[in-house]
Amino acid sequence: MEYEPLKKVTLTEQVMERLAGMITSGQLKPGDKLPNERDLAELFGVTRSRVREALRALSLVGMLTIKPGDGSFVSEEGAKIPEETVMWMYYQEMHRHDEIYAARSLIETEVYLTCYDNRTPEILARLDEYRDRLLDVEAEEISAEDFLKILTEIDTYVGDVCGNSVYARLMQIMVLMRQESAIKVLKLSTSKESAVFYRCKILNAFHQDDRNKVKKCLSDFFKYSIKEISMH
């Protein structure tokens, strides 16, 4: 395993990007132990504090597992991001709804479009099943919590099959961070009906050979979502 020193002392985010790139490219594999902080700092040409911050941040999003006294390891594939970690991030850093939806729009749109680019007959069939489940929802009878479980299942599936493991983890973060605001909005049956409408438009667009159509449906969905949350 080879490391290239950074050309100058960098921000923590740059160290994160370098390590994340090694993980996603397969240079670092699940279960691999990273060099210690001192060695990483020397290899990257940065301070140990930068390395420590980067390792901690990557552990927060589930890419690394830090074992006190033993070191940092690449998380096993399929490892889920701890919900309490994400909710802590939510309350500490992302308490403003406009920030949450800006992040959701950016990340979830890219995840869905990547899934669209890599769609297969099996993926399309599964998405059709989810669409049919949404259409069968009785908005006045299903609870906000149960309805959100369906939406979470759909988004998590899209992230898992999009072909990008980092996107899959980012989608995990998004579905956890939105819980509080989503349940608040989905208390109303009209909000559930609108969610079904926009979601089904997105899923139906996967059958069309028009990527821009999918992107437009996603854009419409988030415009609706931002409007709904601003009213509650």
> How large a percentage of the chain has pLDDT more than 70?
82
Task: CATH number of the domain at 46, please.
Answer: 1.10.10.10
Segment 207-221, tens digit of pLDDT: 999 999 999 999 999
56, 74, 92 - which closes a domain: 74
pLDDT score, position 181: 77
Q: Work out whether the CA dihedral 80, 85, 87, 89 comes out positive or negative.
A: negative
Task: Assess if residue 133 is contained within a domain.
Answer: yes
* 142 falls within a domain: yes
- Is residue 1 one of the residues assigned to a domain? no
| Same-domain pairing of 115 and 193 | yes
Q: Is the pLDDT of residue 98 over 70?
A: no
Does 58 fall in a domain? yes
Which DSSP string corresponds to 22-84? HHHHTSS-TTPBPPPHHHHHHHHTS-HHHHHHHHHHHHHTTSEEEETTTEEEEPPTTPPPPHH
The pair of three-digit structure tokens given for residue 180, joined into one six-digit string:
């509080």
pLDDT bin (cut points 50, 70, 90) of residue 194 is: very high
Which domain, by its residues, includes 64?
A: 11-74
Residues, the chain: 232
Residues 196 and 105 in one domain: yes
Last residue of a domain, one of 33, 54, 74: 74
Q: What is the CATH number of the domain that holds 158?
A: 1.20.120.530
- Do 114 and 34 share a structural domain? no
- CA 210 to CA 212: how far, in whole Å? 5
Residue 8's pLDDT is what? Answer: 44
- Global pTM? 0.65
Same domain as 116, residue 35: no
pLDDT, greater one: 94 or 80: 80
DSSP annotation of 162? S
Instruction: Report if residue 2 sits inside a domain.
Output: no
The DSSP secondary structure of 173-214, one letter per residue, reads: HHHHHTHHHHHHHTTSHHHHHHHHHHHHHHHHHTTSS-HHHH
Q: Is residue 4 part of a domain?
A: no
Q: What pLDDT, on a 0 to 100 scale, did the predictor assign at position 193?
A: 93
Number of domains in the chain: 2
Write down the pLDDT at residue 23. 81
Whether 3 maps to a domain, the answer reads: no
